[in-house]
Amino acid sequence: MTDVNAIDPNVPPSGAGCVECDAVGGWWFHLRRCASCGHVGCCDSSPAQHATAHYKATGHPVVRSFEPGEEWFWDYSRDELYEAGPELTPPAHHPANQPAPGPAGRVPADWARALHQ
């Protein structure tokens, strides 16, 4: 796996959704959790791409999927996927009743048109 100094398994996630999207009433497709500081941001398919923006702003290279049933990590600095890695402080994913895209009530009817490919 990547440089273990990029991962702090003791830091909890920042919340149940994308920090920046929640602050402005936005929505996301899928969520990613920074393995260094716990920041939860939206994925690159999401309209705002906050997880990548967090990496660019902080230099924290590794994220873990914050989706139920997914345990993979991504290293932005190496452009590499890792099928598994160290256990991180719970929770390991957003609440199971939170839809994807989400959150409920903020996703537009034509949401698929806003996704990045």
pTM here is 0.95
DSSP string, 7-56: --TTPPPS-SS-HHHHHHT--BSSEEEETTT--EEE-TTSSS-HHHHHHH
One pLDDT digit (tens) per residue for the chain, 117 residues:
556 678 999 999 999 999 999 999 999 999 999 999 999 999 999 999 999 999 999 999 999 999 999 999 999 999 999 999 999 999 999 999 999 999 999 999 999 999 998
User: Which of left, alpha, beta for 105 (phi over 0: left; psi -120 to 50: alpha)?
Assistant: left
